[in-house]
Amino acid sequence: MTLSQKFVILRKQDIFYKNTFHFQMSLNQIAFIIVFIVCFSIAARQYRRLYRNIHFGKEEKIEGSEGQRWKNVLLVAFGQKKMFKRLLPAVLHFFIYFAFVITQIELIEIFVDGFTGHHRIFAPYLGGFYTFIISFIEILSVLALIATIIFLARRNLLPLMGKPISRFQKTEMNGWPKLDANLILLGELALVTGIFLMNSADIVLQDVDPAHYHKTGSFAISGFLGPLLLDAWPREALVLVERTGWWLHLITVFLFINYLPKSKHLHIFLAFPNVFFSKLQPRGEMDNMPEIMNEVKSMMGLLVEGAAEMEMTDDFPEFGAKDIFDLSWKNIMDAYSCTECGRCTDNCPANLTGKKLSPRKVLMDIRDRVEEVANNIDSQYDHFIAEDKRKTAQRLDPSNYDDQKSLFDYISREEIHACTTCNACVEACPVMINPLEPILKLRRYEILSESAGPADWTPMFNSMENSGSVWAIPDDRDAWTKQLTE
C-alpha cells in the first residue's frame, strides 16, 4: 500500500466515525469544551495571581552561565539527581514522576479527542508504536499506583503502627499540610483508575464493536484486565465504563490544575524554573550589601568617586527583610516550590536537637504570609492601605500596603537565632530551594534595622569593632609566635 492509499483509507475511516458517532460525540464534545473553558479560565486567573505574588518580592538579577542552569534543570529537575540521596523514596517518587510525564501523551490525545470528537485519534497514525506507548504508560501507571499506595501508607499507617517518619510529624505539618498531602495522593489514585477503566473497556469494545472502536493491539495491562473483568458485559455498560474512565482522568487533571496553586503539589511545575533560577554563586557567599559597603568606605575615606552613597532621608533606612516585600522574588518562588518533604528539617542540626527552627516551616511561613497579603490586596479594603497614604492612594497595592503585621508574626526570633548556617538544608533540598537566605535576611533586619538580636552578640560585635577580634583579649595577635620552637 502506498502512503497516499493509506491516507485515503484513513480519511474514509475519519468520515465514517464522524457520521456514525455524530450525535453521541457532539454531546461529549460540547461537555468537554464547556469544562475545558471553565477550567482554564479559572486556572488562568490563579496562575496570573501566582505570578504577581512571586513578584511581591524584590527584583533580583539572576547571574551566571545559562549552560550551567540548563544542566541543573536536566540533572536536578528532570533527572531528580538530588532525590537519589535516599534510594527508596527516590525510586518510588520517580515512578510517579515518570508516569506523570509520559501520561501527558495520552492526555494530549484525550484533549484532541475531546475537541474534535474523535476516538483515540493517534491510534491509526501510530500503529504498533501506539500500542507500545500506551502499554508503556500502563506499566508506569501500575508502578505509580504501587508508589502512591506506599506513600499513603507511609503517611497514614506508619503513625498508627507507632513507627511514624519524624519529618512528616513535625508541628508545621498539622492540619492542612497533612490533608493536602493525602488529597494529592488520592488524586493520583483517581488518575490511574481513570486510565485503566478507559483502556480496559476499550479493549473489550474493540471486539464487541470493531466498527466504532478500532483495533489498537493489546495493551500491556488492560489487555489482560479488560477481558478478565469486563468479558461479556453489554455494549452500553462497556461504553459507560469507557466514558467514566475518560472523564474521571480528565476531570481529575482539570481539578489538579486548579488545585495546584493552593497546594504544596505546585512543585510539579515550579521545580523546573526554580532549579533554573537557583543561584550559581558559591554557597558560602552571602549577598553583598553595596549601600553599607559604600557607607563604610566613605567613613574610611576609601570611597571611589561616582559610587552611589547611601541616600540621606529622614527615614532611617531599612536593611534585610521584615516582610515578604523585602525578600527577593526568588525567595518567594522558593516558598511556592516547596513540596514540604522535610529533608531540610530532617538534616537541620538545630531541629535535630530539639530547637524550634525548622527550615521547611520558614518556607511554609513565607508562602502563608504571601497568601495572606495577596488575599488582603485582592480584597481592596482601604483598611489595608498604610495610614499616612490613605488620602493619596488610588488603590491598595504593595507600595502602600500595611496590615500591621510582618514575617516576624510567622517566624519567631528564637527560630532564626538557632541557625548555624551549616547549609545542610540547602544541600538537602531536591529542588534547589535556599532556606538559609531568608533566615539571614531576617537576621539582618533584626540587627541592622532594629538594633536588636541576641544579647550575647553585643560584646562580640563590640570586640570586633574595637579590637578587630571576636574576643576582647589583651594579648597581641602574634603572641603565639614567641613560644614556637622546633
Partner 1 sequence: MSEETIKIKTLSEVHAAGEKVDYLFWVGCAGSFDARAQKVTKAFSKIMHHAGISFAILGTEESCTGDPARRAGNEFVFQMLALQNIETLNSYEVKRVVTACPHCFNTLKNEYPALGGQYEVIHHTQLLNELLASNKITVEGGKFAGKKITYHDSCYLGRVNGVYEAPREILEYLDANLVEMKRCRTKGLCCGAGGAQMFKEDEPGDKRINIERAEEALDTDASIVAANCPFCLTMVSDGIKAKEKQDDVMVYDLAELIVQNNNW
Residues that bind partner 1 in the complex, under the rule CB under 8 A: 85, 281-286, 288-289, 292-293, 295-297, 299-300, 302, 319-320, 347, 349-350, 352-357, 414, 417-424, 426-427, 440, 443-448, 453-454, 456-457, 460-461, 464-465, 468-471, 473, 475-481, 483-486
**Integer angstrom CA distances of residue 440 from 60, 148, 342, 362:** 16, 37, 20, 12
Q: How far is the CB of 204 from partner 1 (least distance, A)?
A: 52
Whichever of 6 and 477 has its CB closer to partner 1, that residue is 477
User: CB burial class (10 A; 0-12, 13-18, 19+) of residue 341?
Assistant: buried
Q: How far is the CB of 312 from partner 1 (least distance, A)?
A: 16
Could you tell me if 318 and 326 are in contact, meaning their C-beta atoms sit under 8 angstroms apart?
yes
For residues 36 and 452, what is the distance between their CA atoms, to the nearest angstrom? 54
Whichever of 298 and 400 has its CB closer to partner 1, that residue is 298
For 410, phi and psi rounded to 5 degrees? -105, -40
Would you give the DSSP letter of residue 385? B
Whichever of 119 and 441 has its CB closer to partner 1, that residue is 441
Cβ within 8 Å of residue 265, ≥6 positions away = 180, 184, 256, 259, 339
Q: How far is the CB of 58 from partner 1 (least distance, A)?
A: 17
Whichever of 245 and 342 has its CB closer to partner 1, that residue is 342
Q: In the numeric block, which cell numbers belong to residue 297? A: 568606605
For residues 187 and 260, what is the distance between their CA atoms, to the nearest angstrom? 12
Query: Within 10 A of 154 (CB to CB), how many other CB atoms are there?
Result: 17
For 163, phi and psi rounded to 5 degrees? -125, 55
Q: In the numeric block, which cell numbers belong to residue 446? A: 533584626
Whichever of 2 and 288 has its CB closer to partner 1, that residue is 288
Q: How far is the CB of 133 from partner 1 (least distance, A)?
A: 38
Q: How far is the CB of 444 from partner 1 (least distance, A)?
A: 4
Whichever of 131 and 351 has its CB closer to partner 1, that residue is 351
Comparing CA positions, the residue from 320, 317, 64, 285 lying closest to residue 308 is 317
For 119, phi and psi rounded to 5 degrees? -120, 120
Whichever of 321 and 373 has its CB closer to partner 1, that residue is 321
Query: Within 10 A of 443 (CB to CB), how many other CB atoms are there?
Result: 19
Tracing cell 520517580 back to the chain, one arrives at: 94
Tracing cell 490511574 back to the chain, one arrives at: 192
Q: How far is the CB of 237 from partner 1 (least distance, A)?
A: 56
Could you tell me if 253 and 111 are in contact, meaning their C-beta atoms sit under 8 angstroms apart?
no
Whichever of 16 and 461 has its CB closer to partner 1, that residue is 461
For 58, phi and psi rounded to 5 degrees? -70, 150
Whichever of 367 and 417 has its CB closer to partner 1, that residue is 417
Whichever of 175 and 284 has its CB closer to partner 1, that residue is 284
Q: How far is the CB of 376 from partner 1 (least distance, A)?
A: 28
Q: How far is the CB of 225 from partner 1 (least distance, A)?
A: 43
Tracing cell 474523535 back to the chain, one arrives at: 118
Q: How far is the CB of 75 from partner 1 (least distance, A)?
A: 15
Q: What stretches of 300-382 show up as alpha helix (H) in DSSP? A: 329-337, 343-347, 349-352, 359-379
Cβ within 8 Å of residue 156, ≥6 positions away = 182
Q: How far is the CB of 113 from partner 1 (least distance, A)?
A: 47
Q: Which H or E element spans position 17?
A: helix 3-20
Q: How far is the CB of 88 from partner 1 (least distance, A)?
A: 16
